[in-house]
Amino acid sequence: NAGVTQTPKFQVLKTGQSMTLQCAQDMNHNSMYWYRQDPGMGLRLIYYSASEGTTDKGEVPNGYNVSRLNKREFSLRLESAAPSQTSVYFCASRGPYKGELFFGEGSRLTVL
Amino acid sequence: AQRVTQPEKLLSVFKGAPVELKCNYSYSGSPELFWYVQYSRQRLQLLLRHISRESIKGFTADLNKGETSFHLKKPFAQEEDSAMYYCALQETSGSRLTFGEGTQLTVNP
């Protein structure tokens, strides 16, 4: 039982490049989330998926797209990376209790 | 729109001293509030939720609707409490969980 697994853990991109962050959970959870963590700004919600087949924007969706491929997987795509997207990205899934999220280890992305 | 504010980015106390991490929120509905903790080199994890009225690792938090606050308290801090703490608000209907800016707590020996 791995919980929430994110890949890659580290990535360096040049401005304008694209990439996809992968996330998978094996807890049969319905809701999944992508957050970014920046110093002094806490965790900000990028996108979330309340259930398979649905996605919704969070606080900071610009520059990102998501895909809820199936119940297990929720990917985050940067189509044209910008230095402002340098951050640590966290994927999470929600357990049976509202507000109880299970987080991945994070993906540190640097855009040069 | 819901909002969570943690006014202290850094908090430093000595071992055995009381500690209080502040959290204020704004939300038009009936809030559900949580504290999350991230220890060094560990995943972010749920510490406690207001609805359970529980004490976890000696920490408690009381929801004060009049002051729109949910401060986290511990009477005697331990070195192992050093971590980043996030306050979070769950919207009543829907799936969004909004986090505050976080407070980095350091407990000195």
The predicted-structure confidence for B27-72, as pLDDT tens digits, reads as follows 888 888 999 999 998 999 999 988 777 888 999 998 898 999 999 9
Q: What is the pLDDT of residues A49-81, one digit of tens each?
A: 999 989 999 999 999 999 998 999 999 999 999
Contact A40 B9 (CB under 8 A): yes
**Strands A107-111 and A10-13, sheet pairing:** parallel
Q: What is the pLDDT of residues B74-88, one digit of tens each?
A: 999 999 999 999 999
Residue B44 pLDDT: 95
Name chain A contacts of B90, Cβ cutoff 8 Å.
98-99
Q: Which of B33, B94, B97 sits opposite A101 (nearest CB)?
A: B97
Distance CA B1, CA B92 (A): 12
Residue A1 pLDDT: 65
- Tell me which residue has tokens 């799936």: B95
Alpha carbon of A109: minimum distance to chain B alpha carbons (Å): 17
Alpha carbon of A44: minimum distance to chain B alpha carbons (Å): 7
Identify whether the C-beta of residue B86 lies closer than 8 Å to the C-beta of residue B9: no
**Long-range CB contacts for residues A63-67, cutoff 8 Å, separation at least 24:** A64/A34, A66/A34
Mutation site, B39, B40, B95, interface A, largest A CB count within 10 A: B95
Contact B45 A105 (CB under 8 A): no
| Category of B11 on φ-ψ map: left (φ > 0), alpha (ψ -120 to 50) or beta | beta
Contact B95 A42 (CB under 8 A): no
Contact A43 B94 (CB under 8 A): no
- Tell me which residue has tokens 């938090």: B61
Alpha carbon of A17: minimum distance to chain B alpha carbons (Å): 28
Mean pLDDT estimate for chain B: 92
